[in-house]
Chains A and B, each alone.
Chain A
Amino acid sequence: MANVNPASGPAAVTARGSAASSRPPARRRRRRRAAIVPYLFLSPFLLLFAAFLVAPLVYAFYTSVFRDTLVGGRHFVAFGNYFRVATDANFWAGIANLLVFGVTQVPIMLALALALGIVLDRGEVHARGLFRLGFFIPYAVPSVVAALIWGYIYGPAFGPFTQLAKGLGLPPPDFLSDRAMLFSLANIVTWEFTGYNMVIYYAALKAIPSDLREAASVDGANSWQYALLIQLPLLWPAILLTIIFSINGTLQLFNEPYQMRSIAPEVIGTHYTPNIYAYFLAAANQQYNYAAAVSFVLGFVIAAIAGGFTLATNRRGGTSG
């Protein structure tokens, strides 16, 4: 799901630049030479960034303004592919799926991660390292292995829940039905990423000075009050970060549904999520141009939602870091 926030790179550059311009004018020449130095240090990143992100993006955009056909070859269609995406029911059905998914799964996962982070931080837990590692391990399990594990657990004929239900004389649950699938997937994603988010929160909690806890207890705060009134507000930047990661990751959901497709292809079709749609457009349909346009529109949708969310929280006076 979410990896590194690419926005942190450019933001860091701007911060340095504005600091430099506030220096006295007498040292301008040396400053100019000094101004090159940060970019030299940044060059390994910038080169890779250009080669593996900017260049493919430019190429994908170039691809998206053409249409290649099996008969007749390549035509320039300007924004024709984009207009088609705008009215493509398959694409928007995928977005709608993920909005339902995100609105339910992300709050549950983050609340769980937060609770685990706070409990682990409290120091009353024995073998803390073991628990931390245990919660984090699902994140390190390869998705193919995860699909096998969950494929077995959800199995409608021989899965453990089916066997249990049969043993009790109950109708077996169908985790792979149309209606249940989004929740079955949400369950897998929560299993995978709760530990990842927990580690972020745990690190942020460790950064809170311990005198705050002492001060709070001197003032008579109990541990609930300390968690809700002291820790939670101080964690807000970390929570915002994980929310942005999760929005990003949710809308790009691919691995989990793609793996579950092997056991429930009748539910997870070729346009279940926008990324799955783009993949099949390119890999099976040979519609590379249209796949590129779909990917770009998906990028715009993600940017719009993540940007809108950041604006909304900033305006509400949230203390963003």
Chain B
Amino acid sequence: MEVVRDLVSAATLASVVGSAAPLIYAAIGETIAEKAGVINLSLEGSLRLSAMVAFVIGFWTGNAVLGFLVAMAVAALIAALIAFASIELKLNQIAVGFVLALLAVDLASFLGDSFVGERGASVPPLAIPVLSDIPYIGQVLFDQNLSVYGSYVLIFASWFFIYRTRHGLILQGIGERPEGAYARGVRVNRLRYLYTILGGALAGIAGAAYSLDVKLGWRETLTLNLGWIALAIVIFGGWHPFRVALGCYLFGGLQVLAFQLQDVLPGLSQVLPIAPFPLMILALVIVYRDWFRRVGDRFPALRGVLASEPPAAIGTVFEPD
């Protein structure tokens, strides 16, 4: 009972919201790239390397903003490499992304080795006046820092962009049926570069947020497995920003729950954080069932809530003749 009461306390929920923020950047960035048809499998490495780089830049300059910017550039570069290898060189996206994931992880450990244990720059807390005074909600949502507020903005902005703007409609089109978008005058591959790199840059923000905000400092295990988890959450979230964000918050909650249960149920608490993976598999299994498709076509809203099919052209190469 005490566990439950602790869980819903404002302080706990505030920490869930805060710790989920970086994951939201990574997962929504990946959502955007995958909506455009490109799988950036390097996420685990992109997060790790950008977290390290952000910390080092912040440590050297004392400027957290600069740390964020350089981290974005690094992760965007990795994404650009995947886009280039896939679009121009016709290499398998999975192969290149996978190699880059492992490489960037080790590169972060190697280059960041001498910075472990140092204290560097950090994102200062910034309570929003008035809003943070709202009882309970204020403490949970508005007594955070800028990178957390940015995650709220990203959730709504990405949703608005994808579903409420013409460019968002085109984004859906190039991942769904690139030849159809091409017939409508869209420069498919140019946009795929753009969105893959944008997704990478968001992963860079995520990495930087871990080392400059959530868990100040740099160590190898700082973002351990969070990149893979972000990939799973994108699928579980059906490529929809709201559900992806929900997945991130649920994962944040699981982490806190696991922490609380450490003494009571040590076995369970160790295993809880892998929950996104079976949920991902479950989402993929039901989405292809005929009954689900039938129900989904009749009640589009319901489909949106339960599971969504991947963008049809995900992972494929588009060549305009």
Asked if A and B are interacting partners, one says no
